[in-house]
Structure 1
Amino acid sequence: MYRKEFYVFDQDKPVPAIIRNYTEEDFTNLIQIQQECFPPPFPSELWWNHEQLKNHITLFPEGALCIEVDGELAGSMTGLLVNFDPTHPDHTWEEVTANGYITNHDPKGNTLYVVDISVRPAFRKLGLGKWLMSSMYDVVVHLGLDRLLGGGRMPGYHLKSSELTAEQYLDAIVKGEVKDPVITFLLRCGRTPVKVVANYLDDEESCHYGTLMEWKNPFKI
């Protein structure tokens, strides 16, 4: 099981934090975090439910991480193992995660696939997302996997969709000409783009696109 104790900084003030595997006692708080992180127009049916969370801690507890700040649950990150073929990258979030239930988790998979990462808005200036991401990289290395992979939302794309294709929007982000709340964050975490996928997720802000982004295990050549 995973447990990391450290300090995050609220400006110059150190605040104790813990990243650990989440358990059934955390479910109510995890669902509340989803509601805070993904308000409408994000579909409420995509928020976690108890059955999904139960599957996460049962089928792949190593990929069920949460972060506490000064004793308060502030965010979570969830993954499953899949066999990813880079020559056939296209898929939807629903297909690859079994609609968040991860019933297709493959214990012999070569890739840790990110189902979700969420940090409560009140805690977003503390760098918790990066801490969660780096902890999931720890899991990739520990299990000897090839990569971490996941589809990033593109919530700023609807503001540019009349002038840029989704691929052009991604290119503008990488060039630093545009900043996207999710894709830019993932770049800062060390993830690199693989491909833009149409109809990846029911997400009006992203015009239903997602960008597959990976982090390759530096110990696997």
Structure 2
Amino acid sequence: MYRSEFYVYDQERPVPVIIRNYSNVDFDDLIKIQSECFPPPFPSELWWNKEQLTNHVYMFPEGALCVEVAGELAGSITGLTIDFDPSDKNHSWEEITDHGYIRNNNPNGNTLYIVDISVRPKYRKLGLGKLMMQSMYHVVIEKELYRLLGGGRMPGYHKKADIMTPGQYLDATIKGEVQDPVITFLLHCGRVPIGIIENYLEDDESCNYAALMEWKNPFR
């Protein structure tokens, strides 16, 4: 099981932080966090439900992590293990995560796949998303997996779609010519794009595209 205690800085004030596995006692808070991260008009039926969260905790607890700030739950990150074939990169979020229920978790898989990462808006200046992502890298190393993988939305793409292909937009983001809220964050986390996925999510901002982003285990 995972537990890490340290401090982050809120401006010049150190604040105690814990990253740990979440459990059934956290479910109400985790659903509230989803409601804050994805407010209306985002449909509430797409927030985590307790059946999904129960599956996360019991099917792959190593991939169910949350972060506390001064005792308040501030965010979560969830993953599952899959057997990834680098020659076949095409998939949708629903297919690869079993619609978030992760009943397809493969204990013998070679890859940790990120299902979701969420941080409460009031805590987003503390760097908690990057810290949770790094905690998942620890899980990859501890389980001797080959990589961490996940599809990154490109929510800024719709503003450029009339003049750029998705690949050109991703290249421009890598070069620093474009700042994308998700892809730029993932690059800061050490993730590397390995391809573009069509029809990853019903996502008007990304025009349904995603960048498949990888972090390789340096010990494999």
Tell me if both proteins adopt one fold, taking TM over 0.5 as the criterion.
yes
Equivalent residue, structure 2, for 1:7: 7
> SS of the counterpart of 1:205?
coil
By how many angstroms is 1:166 displaced?
1.0
Distance 1:197 1:39 in 2: 26
Amino acid at match of 2:205: E
By how many angstroms is 1:98 displaced?
0.2
By how many angstroms is 1:32 displaced?
1.1
8 Å Cα contact 1:42-1:204 kept in structure 2: no
Equivalent residue, structure 2, for 1:116: 116
Alpha-carbon spacing, 1:158–1:41, altered in 2? closer, same or farther (3 Å): farther
Which string of whole-angstrom CA distances, capped at 9 and with x for unpartnered residues, describes residues 76-135 of structure 1? Answer: 000000000001111110000000000000000000000000011100000000110000
Which consecutive residues of structure 2, in runs of 5 or more, have no partner in the other structure?
A: none
Equivalent residue, structure 1, for 2:55: 55
> SS of the counterpart of 2:62?
helix
> SS of the counterpart of 2:112?
strand
- Pairing 1:30–2:30 present: yes
By how many angstroms is 1:43 displaced?
4.1
- Pairing 1:185–2:208 present: no
Equivalent residue, structure 1, for 2:194: 194
Equivalent residue, structure 1, for 2:140: 140
8 Å Cα contact 1:81-1:112 kept in structure 2: yes
Equivalent residue, structure 2, for 1:170: 170
Equivalent residue, structure 2, for 1:107: 107
Equivalent residue, structure 2, for 1:97: 97
> SS of the counterpart of 1:190?
coil
1:67-78 aligned at under 5 Å gives the runs 67-78=67-78
Alpha-carbon spacing, 1:24–1:130, altered in 2? closer, same or farther (3 Å): same
Equivalent residue, structure 1, for 2:149: 149
> SS of the counterpart of 1:104?
coil
Distance 1:34 1:205 in 2: 19
Query: How many percent identity over aligned positions?
Result: 68
Which consecutive residues of structure 1, in runs of 5 or more, have no partner in the other structure?
A: none
Distance 1:111 1:42 in 2: 30
Paired positions, count: 220
> SS of the counterpart of 1:207?
coil
Distance 1:185 1:40 in 2: 24
By how many angstroms is 1:26 displaced?
0.6
Distance 2:18 2:51 in 1: 25
Amino acid at match of 1:173: T
Amino acid at match of 1:207: C
Distance 2:197 2:65 in 1: 26
8 Å Cα contact 1:42-1:203 kept in structure 2: no
Distance 2:92 2:170 in 1: 18
By how many angstroms is 1:41 displaced?
4.8
Distance 2:15 2:205 in 1: 34
> SS of the counterpart of 1:206?
coil
Equivalent residue, structure 2, for 1:20: 20
Alpha-carbon spacing, 1:123–1:23, altered in 2? closer, same or farther (3 Å): same
Alpha-carbon spacing, 1:167–1:45, altered in 2? closer, same or farther (3 Å): farther
Cα RMSD between the aligned structures? 0.9
By how many angstroms is 1:37 displaced?
1.2
Distance 2:47 2:173 in 1: 27
